[in-house]
Amino acid sequence: MLGDALTGHISPTLFAVSLATSAIGVLGILYEIRRYKRTHTEIPDPESSGAPERVGR
């Protein structure tokens, strides 16, 4: 599409295909970001739960 834009002759079909491809790419990136955040969450360490430790009896 860039070559056609530089010459001044933009095909509406080529523009629509480029727009659809770009939209699919952006949606794919957003999906991967959301998926990464869900699968890479930190699991709190049960040893350091913040509860006071029992010492002795």
The confidence score (pLDDT) of residue 10 equals 78
Task: Tell me the CB-side half-sphere exposure of residue 9, using CA atoms within 13 A.
Answer: 1
Count how many Cα atoms sit within 13 Å of the Cα of residue 46 in the half-sphere of its side chain: 0
Cα–Cα distance between 21 and 24 in angstroms, integer? 5
Dist CA 4 CA 17 (whole Å):
14
* Structure letter (DSSP) for residue 8: T
Sketch the domain layout of the chain as residue ranges: 1-40
- Tokens 């295909």 locate to 17
Whether 15 contacts 1, CB under 8 Å: yes
Question: What would the pLDDT profile of 5-57 be if each residue is shown by its tens digit?
Answer: 667 777 888 888 888 999 999 999 999 999 988 887 766 655 665 655 565 55
